[in-house]
Amino acid sequence: MTTLRTIGLLLCLCALRSAAQISPGELSAAHAQFEGVENCTLCHSIGKSIADDQCLACHGEIKTRIAQKKGYHASIGGKHCFDCHKEHHGRQFELVRFDRKGFNHASTGFALEGKHANVECAKCHEPSKIRAKDIQSFDDKRKRKTLLGLTTDCLSCHKDQHQGQLSAQCASCHTFEQWKPASKFTHARSKFPLTGKHEQVECQRCHKNKLRDGVTVQFVRMEFASCKSCHADAHKGKFQQPCSQCHTTEGFHQIKGSKFDHSVTQFPLVGKHASVKCAECHAAVPTAKNVSGEIGFHITKYKQCANCHADAHAHQFDNRADKGKCEACHTVDGFTTVHYSAADHDRTAFPLTGSHRAIPCVKCHEQGNVRAKSTWQFHWDAKLVCTLCHADVHKGQFASQMKNGCETCHSTESWQTLAFSHDRTKFPLRGRHETLACAKCHKKSEGPDAAVQFAGTVTGCADCHADEHERQFAVDGQTKCEKCHTAKGWKALIFDHNTQSRFALTGGHAGVRCEKCHKAFAAGQRRPIRYKPMGVTCAECHQSK
């Protein structure tokens, strides 16, 4: 152990004495603080060449950029640090030595194009333009020497001529050849693409305002929400719609499509309106006013047909709930194209029912009855009763008796379909009367205007039936048949011999047949049965024994 220690000490003493002979030369001024044999291993590995990692251990800014694959050092991956940066050549030796004029700046990631190609390196590589934070931490001396820390942003070297109005990517509009004109700029990328006539307008015609500095031209926050921002209103405020609804940028007099699209207005042109000439509604001069008395394009009176069209029905519908709106019946396809239906008629004061639905309109709605003789009659001041159209075949027989007129008995289904009940008359039909045909009692009177007699028809039995008893039961000239007979039949008797005659049937008389006592007698051509006068004594029927 003692021997080994002694050998080691001797070696150290030898190294100190021969330091000047071991070192290949002085270090550069940048590495001067590492001078001395005891510091060799900071850069050198015994028995090996200098490793890049040892250089990058101190030069972290280079290591970072290589790792990020950015900058010049990242583009020369096949070289070692000592291939370009030599040491031990003395204090005044420059570690960074390269041909500035022949240097390919594109290898840094920023090719020098256009006017950049003629700019001296020092114009860009100066401490004030360093933007990388790791390089900004260098001392001033080192900042003056380094070429690192710059960015490729235009505004890191150039003044923002637009004062922050536009993108910081100047190259999106400008080239490296010259600032003006901005040949890469296209208005299509802006909020207001230029089309039509706008493409021919010089920039300063619109961009004439200056910012607060009085120099910088305004490019953003321009007023262009509507055409009125730049153009005078040729229609003098008569339209509220955007100009673009009718006009294009191709020219003010070029209307969208082959003609103006009226569908974008509050009055789309459909049907017959589509063929009307514009000037008929939009008169150009006061002497050619339209029917509503207006000129120009802005028409205020158009919501009602009457604003332009005369009332063809002479105001017959003015009192209707909708005030006679034409569109309730007519369409813009033509005046005679009517969409009024039977269902619509049912909502009037005269709903169409039964046979009325099959009658052509002109049968009731005739021409020539109202002031405007060209129109049909649709309104009647008189009450809408049957006799307004139909003749009273009963010649007024029921005028004072039927509260609902003809409809009391008849319906619109058919004249022969009756709702009449004889029970509501003074002569309800009972028994045999129910099966009799009406005409058996209700006869047609004589004359050309004759009517079947209904009102005032007599109701006494003798008025229709012959007196089979030859007035035997007449009282004051009137025979009350109903005292004995019913409508069920002539032989359906309600006669009671005990209460209605002078001779009550008792005892053996109760079983005697009627004809045993009541015999026929001659009365002209007829032979009626004798009922009155009859004897009531025994001798008048029985012989004395």
Averaged over 121-147, what is the pLDDT? Answer: 93
Token pair in block for residue 507: 């005892």
Residue 255 corresponds to which amino acid?
I
pLDDT, tens only, 395-431: 888 887 777 788 888 889 888 888 888 998 889 999 9
Among 36, 35, 34, 54, residue whose Cα is nearest residue 44: 54
| C-alpha to C-alpha distance for 479 and 461, rounded to whole angstroms | 8
Which residues, listed in sequence order, are joined to residue 247 by a DSSP beta bridge? 255
The per-residue pLDDT for 21 is 52
Residue 528 confidence (pLDDT) above 80: yes
Q: Which of 54-58, 256-260, 436-440 has the lowest mean pLDDT?
A: 256-260
Residue 252 parent element (H or E) = strand 251-255
Q: Which of 13-27, 283-297, 427-441, 515-529 has the lowest mean pLDDT?
A: 13-27
Q: What are phi and psi of 121, to 5 degrees?
A: -55, -40
Token pair in block for residue 530: 């004798």
What distance lies between CA 540 and its chain's CA centroid?
109
CA atoms within 13 A on the CB side of 156: 15
Averaged over 40-56, what is the pLDDT? Answer: 88
Residue 197 confidence (pLDDT) above 90: yes
Residue 308 confidence (pLDDT) above 50: yes
3-class state of residue 331 by DSSP: strand
Residue 23 confidence (pLDDT) above 50: yes
CA atoms within 13 A on the CB side of 261: 11
Dihedral, CA of residue 293, residue 298, residue 300 and residue 305, to nearest 10: 70
Q: What is the pTM of this model?
A: 0.44
Which residues, listed in sequence order, are joined to residue 338 by a DSSP beta bridge? 330
The per-residue pLDDT for 11 is 40
Q: Which of 2-11, 102-111, 134-143, 350-359 has the lowest mean pLDDT?
A: 2-11
Residue 143 confidence (pLDDT) above 60: yes
Residue 330 parent element (H or E) = strand 330-331
Residue 136 confidence (pLDDT) above 50: yes
Write out the DSSP string of 239-303.
--S-GGGTEETTEEEEESSSS--GGGSSS---GGGGGS-HHHHS-SSGGG--TTS--SS--S--S
pLDDT, tens only, 65-118: 999 999 999 999 889 999 999 999 999 999 988 888 889 999 999 999 999 999
Confidence of residue 286 (pLDDT cuts 50, 70, 90): confident
